């Protein structure tokens, strides 16, 4: 447990006293301000930090999402934390972890605000088409085995519409906006960490079907025509359109193409857009 001399926005002892978990959050490091919780946790993971270690910050100055996109992490407004997993899982199945965390988040949000929260492949939780939560999992692999997974979670909790950058207002929202009420960040954190321990610890190999089913239960896109775009703006793009059939054991998106075949797409190399009607 971390003890720091500055006055923290939350005290580790107070959070841990409320946690019913046996593993997640029992080693808890809290910062008022940090560049990135993922980066800090990666460093201490290499030094042998225990599985279930959580790094939590009130503010990130260099928070990021997939493809190195910046993630606004202002003080007093969200949950910005990373959890250390050391899963017994084959490297080809690692993508299921992002999906499982998104499903956990959608479940927690539904307890607060009811219907309307849904997952978007591969790593977002949405409300009415706007992003509420993003997940960034970074993996350390040694000799073809997973050494550690740094699972970063960013949740927009209390922002008003005006507090988002103008360019984000059509694409991002907060739990407070979605639910129409104040949301207690500490209670939400406790619920998220409790659900993470329930779903992402233990023998994950035996849970693959359950984890996929949990994610699918929060997905609105099944049976829809989707277009997958490979490449970035700087490179030649290649687009594939098909019907969204589901996800694979490694979290891959599965599209059924017009010729009847199925094609798998892995996270990290594609963007996803609903096909225009």
Q: What does each of the 277 residues of the chain score in pLDDT, given as a tens digit?
A: 444 445 678 888 899 999 999 999 999 999 999 999 999 999 999 999 999 999 999 999 977 877 677 778 899 999 999 999 999 899 999 999 999 999 999 999 999 987 899 999 988 999 998 999 999 999 998 888 899 999 999 999 999 999 999 999 999 999 999 999 999 999 999 999 999 999 999 889 899 999 999 999 999 888 888 888 876 665 667 788 899 999 999 999 999 999 999 999 985 455 565 544 4
Q: pTM of the predicted model, to two decimals? A: 0.91
- Euclidean distance between CA atoms 160 and 121, whole angstroms: 25
Q: Where in the chain is CATH 2.30.30.100?
A: 225-274
Residue appearing with tokens 């460093």: 43
- How is residue 179 written in tokens? 């639910």
Give the pLDDT score at 195.
98
Give the pLDDT score at 274.
53
Residue appearing with tokens 């260099």: 62
Give the pLDDT score at 4.
46
Q: Which residues, in sequence order, are bridge partners of residue 235?
A: none
Q: Does domain 225-274 have CATH number 2.30.30.100?
A: yes
- How is residue 22 written in tokens? 């046996």
Nearest to 172 by CA among 32, 38, 67, 69: 69
Give the pLDDT score at 259.
95
Considering the segment(s) 12-216 as one domain, its CATH architecture is: 2-Layer Sandwich (3.30)
What Cα–Cα distance (Å) separates residue 250 from each residue in 68, 94, 170?
A: 22, 6, 31
Give the pLDDT score at 144.
86
Q: 3-state secondary structure string, the chain?
A: CCCCCCCCCCCHHHHHHHCCCCCCCCCEEEEEEECCHHHHHHHHHHCCCCCCCEEEEEEECCCECHHHCECCECCCCEEEEEEEECCCCCHHHCCHHHHHHHHHHHHHHHHHHCCCEEEECCCEEEECCEEEEEEEEEEEEECCEEEEEEEEEEEECCCCHHHCCHHHCCCECCHHHHHCCCCCHHHHHHHHHHHHHHHHCCCHHHHHHHHHHHHHCCECCCCCEEEEEECCCCCCCEEEEEEEEEECCCCCEEEECCCCCEEEECCCCEEEEECCC
Give the pLDDT score at 233.
62
Q: Where in the chain is CATH 3.30.930.10?
A: 12-216
| 147, 87 contact by CB (below 8 A) | no
């Amino acid at each position: 447990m971390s003890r720091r001399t500055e006055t923290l926005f939350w005290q580790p002892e107070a959070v841990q006293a409320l946690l019913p978990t046996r593993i997640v959050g029992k080693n808890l490091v809290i910062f008022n301000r940090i560049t990135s919780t993922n980066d800090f946790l990666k460093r201490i993971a290499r030094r042998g930090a225990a599985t279930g270690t959580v790094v939590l910050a009130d503010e990130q100055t260099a928070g990021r999402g997939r493809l190195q996109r910046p993630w606004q992490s202002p003080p007093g407004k969200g949950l910005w934390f990373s959890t250390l997993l050391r899963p017994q899982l084959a490297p080809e199945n690692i993508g299921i972890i992002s999906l499982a965390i998104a499903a956990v988040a959608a479940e927690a949000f539904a307890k607060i605000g009811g219907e309307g929260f849904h997952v978007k492949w591969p790593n977002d939780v949405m409300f009415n088409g706007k992003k509420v939560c993003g997940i960034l999992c970074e993996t350390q692999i040694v000799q073809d085995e997973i050494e550690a997974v740094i699972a970063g979670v960013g949740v927009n909790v209390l922002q008003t519409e005006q507090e988002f950058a103008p360019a984000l207002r059509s694409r991002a929202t907060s739990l407070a906006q979605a639910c129409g009420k104040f949301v207690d960040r500490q209670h939400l954190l406790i619920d998220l960490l409790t659900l993470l321990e329930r779903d992402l610890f233990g023998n994950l190999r035996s849970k693959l079907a359950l984890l996929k089913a949990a994610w699918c239960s929060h997905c609105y896109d099944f049976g829809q025509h989707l277009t997958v775009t490979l490449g970035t703006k700087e490179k030649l793009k290649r687009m594939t359109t098909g019907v969204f059939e589901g996800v694979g054991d490694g979290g891959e998106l599965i599209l059924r193409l017009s010729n009847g075949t199925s094609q798998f797409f892995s996270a990290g190399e594609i963007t996803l857009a609903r096909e225009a009607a």
